[in-house]
Amino acid sequence: MTTTTRPLRPTDREDIAQRLLRSSAKASYNPLTEIDWERPVGKDNYAMPPHRVSLYGTPLWDGLTEAQRKELSRQEIASIANIGIWFETILMQMLIRHAYDRDPTTSHVQYSYTEIGDECRHSVMFAKFIRKMGAPHYRLDPAARSLGRVFKTISNGPLTFSAALFVEELLDQMQREAMADERIDPLTRAVARLHVTEEARHMRYAREELIRDWPRRGPVTRAYSRLVLAVVAAISSDRLVHPGCYARVGLDPEQARRAARRNPHWRASKTWFARQAVETFTAAGMLSGPARYIWRKAGLIGYGGPDA
Ligand SMILES: [Fe+2]
Ligand SMILES: [Fe+2]
């Protein structure tokens, strides 16, 4: 794929930031009061479409009862929410660093602060959601945690906004599908609806900042940023489902994780979740060279994606 229908020229920075601020003033939500947290989560529904569960289509999936499959969907969506919190925490720090060096009277810096406020509320929402799904805190492995710690401290402008865009686009694809599916548990759909609304602004902001900054960078920074983005994308997408989810339905966690990694349905889902981000990065020239190999190996391109 070499072209895209998405415009890659940035619009006026202050003009777009003012529009985003006006939209935030009109449509921002407090999940603590917008969402009915008292309503019990029933066991009758899936918490994500069954074909998006990581083991769907495998012999392990065939061996589960319908109740176990639904339970696995609740555990996996809770694990994904945990990754959401991890990344939002990283993003909040990156946005604070972004604002630190800039003029706070400009609209684009004020939008950065506004987005940090949104992400604070989202992380509390996801944390409450995890509890309601009956899931524990699935703690990230030390390697991913260390990578996140380094990344949030040293990311440059293009990495801050490309990594933000990657994770936001991934969740956006999942949540748009879930909120339109009436088979899905109502709490999952309510959380998805709220998040999708506010994230649309974040993705616009990230895309604008990225395509403004990227062409100004020299070849060394670009090569470095392409590689680091690919590693971040590969690691964060690999950690979406914590192996502890499988243990909750009586499966061997390591055996199930291996089955998920090999599962063509799960790889196709990851390609599908990543497709908008891949389209933007391809058009911007962020997916070329050795980085492309990492994206492909991670199952983020090549399964029903632009190269299929
Ligand atoms: Fe968010
Ligand atoms: Fe966001």
Closest listed ligand to the CA of 194 = 1
In the predicted model, is pLDDT for residue 164 greater than 80?
A: yes
Ligand 2 centroid to Cα of residue 190, in Å, is 17
Ligand 1 centroid to Cα of residue 195, in Å, is 6
Closest listed ligand to the CA of 91 = 2
Ligand 1 centroid to Cα of residue 84, in Å, is 7
Ligand 1 centroid to Cα of residue 174, in Å, is 13
Mean pLDDT of 258-281: 96
Instruction: Classify residue 139 as exposed, middle or buried by CB count within 10 Å of its CB (0-12, 13-18, 19+).
Output: exposed
- Residue-level pLDDT at 303: 57
pLDDT digit string, tens, across residues 228-258: 999 999 999 999 999 999 999 999 999 999 9
CA torsion angle 196 198 202 207 (round to 10): 50
Angle at 169 between CA 121 and CA 145, to 5 degrees: 65
Let me know: does 78 contact 126? Beta carbons within 8 Å: no
Closest listed ligand to the CA of 125 = 1
Mean pLDDT of 177-188: 95
Share of the chain above pLDDT 70, in %: 95
Ligand 2 centroid to Cα of residue 221, in Å, is 25
The whole-angstrom separation of Cα 194 and Cα 167 is: 17
SS3 state of residue 41: coil
Give me the DSSP letters along 257-294. HHHHHH-HHHHHHHHHHHHHHHHHHHHHT-S-THHHHH
Ligand 1 centroid to Cα of residue 116, in Å, is 9
Provide the mean pLDDT of the chain.
Answer: 94
The whole-angstrom separation of Cα 75 and Cα 65 is: 15
In the predicted model, is pLDDT for residue 306 greater than 60?
A: no
Closest listed ligand to the CA of 167 = 2
Query: 30: part of which helix (H) or strand (E)?
Result: none
Entry field: residues in the chain? 308
pLDDT digit string, tens, across residues 190-213: 999 999 999 999 999 999 999 999
Which residue do the tokens 């293009």 mark?
158
The whole-angstrom separation of Cα 154 and Cα 144 is: 15
Ligand 2 centroid to Cα of residue 115, in Å, is 7
pLDDT digit string, tens, across residues 120-147: 999 999 999 999 999 999 999 999 999 9
Q: Give me the sign of the Cα torsion angle 62, 236, 166, 18.
A: positive
SS3 state of residue 165: helix
Of 95 and 302, the structure prediction assigns the larger pLDDT to 95
Ligand 2 centroid to Cα of residue 93, in Å, is 12
